[in-house]
């Protein structure tokens, strides 16, 4: 699945915040008294592969910061898994560089699962729970056969992953193929209908969520009769229904929510105690609007900077809904900054306000929260400064050809283009007639939401030709003054000859320079005469 640049930036922010929130002053090498097996060389490793049916290997470097952050989690997982005879091992790639090259180790740490002599990359979270769950799952069959409802319920209670139970629904090989595909994120159980202690008389497939297992109310799969691809339909259903009613979002879970493409409602909380106060209300909302909107918690002490990505101030708690399709954000109103800072008691959000906000969003009656710089009271240069609130009005002016540069302040290419772009604006401003027909503008795309434009990179340059039904034209030529002048002439609606204006502009500049030189010479002569 492809994501827009803005969504990828959001994901990157969460991933970076997640990394920065971890401790750093820890050794990457497991302690001698831990259960982690330290392998010294290639021969010992090859022998270990032969002697063990299943184990997890970490390929690391002692200086690697990510390896140090993984260290404590890896040691904890090794302790837990040692009771199940599932070893966790370490191999120092600094001491075994040639061997690690032979294994195509791309970076540190690289985790690989070895099972029956074959290896696959470990793609789960680098946490104790995730490592333990993944390795236990790999020790089990892809589909687990149970003989009683009671044993299934007991398993579901203890599982930290969603559980899918097939009670004789005639999926045949499809169920096993789906289990192979989703093995790392779900537990698949087969429970023969003859062993089901209930009034069920026909086969069914049920999904039990990890955060809703106490009431044992599953989601039931109902295949469409005209489904051409049952496996794809089942995979899609599982991924949609397995999203928690109210789970936390971070760098590891973000993609799951992105793939659903449903609006994402964020609750920024300041502590676990505060989060707990709202869980019941969010689970209730998520149950009521299942399949329409997803609800997530976000720890503001770790991911507070994400507030900027959803157009809200860092005033927490906070609630905002992000429409992933339109990229619009709808925030519960916040306080003025001075009002928030003057609060004598912790700020709170009323549940009834959250509920009302969700209802209004689903009805389509909310206005999006647009990130925009203030509209300039006056334009200080010939390059017209746009902001989000003025963008559509200016670019859709039917009387003007409007060229817009969408830039980022930190962008090196944008900085190099700036002098050329400023001169381009000066050229059209020089001619009174052209000044009314062509506008050279720019907007800081990091400080302003421009929903109508998909920014693929910086700078993005687009011409909005004059005329009521004209279509925007993206510029892809060389970033020279002559190329811009030609582009506007060929694609604009007003047929302004920029090159002709540029010649007159150059003549005027040369004349002005000559006059300045004459004035300087006169001043020098006057000084000489005085001496």
**Is the confidence at residue 376, as pLDDT, over 50?**
yes
Question: At what angle are helices 173-182 and 230-241 packed, to 10 degrees?
Answer: 50
**Is the confidence at residue 519, as pLDDT, over 70?**
no
Contact 54, 139 (CB under 8 A): yes
Q: Active-site residue among 30, 56, 61, 67? A: 67
pLDDT band of 334, cuts 50, 70, 90: very high
- Supply the mean pLDDT for the chain: 88
Q: Active-site residue among 125, 411, 455, 481? A: 411
Q: Tens digit of pLDDT for each residue in 51-65?
A: 999 999 999 999 999
**Is the confidence at residue 2, as pLDDT, over 50?**
no
pLDDT at 255: 79
**Is the confidence at residue 14, as pLDDT, over 90?**
no
Contact 351, 281 (CB under 8 A): yes
**Is the confidence at residue 310, as pLDDT, over 70?**
yes
Q: Tens digit of pLDDT for each residue in 243-274?
A: 889 999 987 788 788 888 899 999 999 999 99
Q: Tens digit of pLDDT for each residue in 139-197?
A: 878 888 898 889 998 888 888 788 888 887 776 688 888 887 787 788 899 988 665 54
Domain 384-506 class in CATH: alpha beta
23-137 folds as Glutaredoxin (3.40.30)
Q: Active-site residue among 91, 103, 386, 414? A: 414
| CA pair distance 182, 176, nearest whole angstrom | 10
Q: Active-site residue among 7, 64, 230, 362? A: 64
Is this structure's pTM higher than 0.85? no
Domain 246-363 class in CATH: alpha beta
**Is the confidence at residue 216, as pLDDT, over 90?**
no
**Is 100 one of the annotated active-site residues of the chain?**
no
**Is 93 one of the annotated active-site residues of the chain?**
no
Contact 460, 5 (CB under 8 A): no
The domain locations on the chain are 23-137, 141-241, 246-363, 384-506
Arithmetic mean of pLDDT, 434-455: 94
pLDDT at 73: 95
**Is the confidence at residue 16, as pLDDT, over 60?**
no
pLDDT band of 20, cuts 50, 70, 90: very low
Give whichever of 40-44, 508-512, 520-524 has the largest mean pLDDT.
40-44
Q: Tens digit of pLDDT for each residue in 379-435?
A: 999 999 999 999 999 999 999 999 999 999 999 999 999 999 999 999 999 999 999
Q: Tens digit of pLDDT for each residue in 447-497?
A: 999 988 988 899 999 999 999 889 999 999 999 999 999 999 999 999 999
Phi, psi of 517 (to 5 degrees): -65, -40
**Is 67 one of the annotated active-site residues of the chain?**
yes
Walk across the sheet containing 110-115 and list its strands: 37-39, 88-92, 54-60, 110-115, 118-121
Phi, psi of 295 (to 5 degrees): -115, 130
- Dihedral sign computed on CA atoms, order 421, 427, 428, 432: positive
Fold equal for 246-363 and 384-506? yes
**Is the confidence at residue 213, as pLDDT, over 90?**
no
Architecture of the CATH domain 141-241: 3-Layer(aba) Sandwich (3.40)
Arithmetic mean of pLDDT, 341-357: 96
């Amino acid at each position: 699945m492809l994501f827009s640049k803005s969504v990828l930036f959001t994901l990157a922010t969460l991933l970076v915040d997640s990394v920065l929130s971890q401790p750093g002053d820890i050794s990457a090498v497991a302690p001698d008294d831990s259960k982690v097996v330290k392998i010294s060389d290639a021969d010992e490793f090859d022998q270990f592969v032969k002697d063990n049916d299943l184990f997890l290997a970490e390929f690391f470097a002692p200086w690697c910061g990510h390896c140090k952050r993984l260290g404590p989690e890896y040691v904890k997982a090794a302790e837990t898994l040692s009771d199940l005879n599932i070893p966790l091992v370490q191999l120092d790639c600094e001491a075994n560089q040639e061997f690690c090259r032979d294994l195509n180790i791309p970076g540190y740490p690289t985790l690989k699962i070895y099972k029956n002599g074959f290896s696959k990359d470990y793609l789960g979270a680098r946490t104790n729970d995730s490592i333990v769950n993944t390795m236990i799952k790999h020790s089990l069959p892809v589909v687990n056969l149970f003989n009683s409802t009671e044993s299934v319920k007991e398993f579901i209670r203890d599982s930290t992953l969603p559980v899918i139970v097939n009670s004789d629904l005639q999926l045949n090989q499809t169920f096993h193929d789906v289990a192979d595909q989703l093995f790392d994120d779900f537990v698949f159980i087969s429970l023969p209908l003859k062993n089901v202690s209930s009034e069920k008389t026909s086969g069914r497939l049920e999904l039990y969520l990890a955060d809703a297992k106490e009431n044992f109310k599953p989601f039931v799969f109902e295949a469409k009769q005209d489904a051409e691809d049952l496996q794809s339909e089942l995979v899609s259903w599982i991924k949609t229904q397995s999203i928690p009613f109210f789970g936390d979002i971070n760098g590891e879970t973000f993609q799951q929510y992105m793939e659903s493409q449903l609006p994402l409602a964020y609750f920024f909380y300041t502590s676990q105690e505060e989060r707990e106060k709202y869980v019941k209300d969010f689970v209730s909302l998520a149950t009521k609007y299942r399949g329409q909107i997803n609800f997530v918690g976000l720890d503001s002490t770790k991911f507070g900077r994400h507030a900027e990505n959803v157009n809200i101030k860092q005033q927490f708690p906070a609630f905002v809904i992000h429409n992933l399709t339109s990229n619009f954000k709808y925030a519960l109103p916040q306080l003025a900054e001075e009002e928030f800072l003057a609060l004598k008691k912790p700020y709170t959000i009323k549940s009834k306000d959250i509920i009302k906000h969700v209802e209004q969003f689903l009805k389509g009656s909310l206005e999006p929260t647009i990130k925009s710089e203030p509209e300039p009271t006056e334009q200080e240069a010939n390059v017209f400064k746009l902001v989000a609130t003025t963008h559509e009005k200016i670019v859709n002016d039917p009387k003007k050809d409007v060229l817009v540069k969408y830039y980022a302040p930190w962008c090196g290419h944008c900085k190099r283009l700036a002098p050329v772009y400023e001169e381009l604006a000066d050229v059209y401003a020089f001619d009174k007639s052209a000044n009314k027909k062509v506008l050279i503008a720019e907007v800081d795309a990091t400080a302003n939401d421009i929903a109508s434009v998909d920014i693929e990179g910086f700078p993005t340059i687009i011409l909005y030709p004059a005329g009521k039904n004209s279509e925007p034209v993206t510029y892809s030529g060389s970033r020279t003054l002559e190329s811009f002048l030609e582009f506007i002439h060929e694609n604009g609606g007003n047929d302004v000859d920029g090159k002709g204006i540029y010649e007159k502009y150059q003549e005027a500049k040369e004349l002005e320079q000559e006059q300045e030189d004459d004035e300087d010479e006169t001043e020098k002569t006057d000084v000489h005469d005085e001496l």
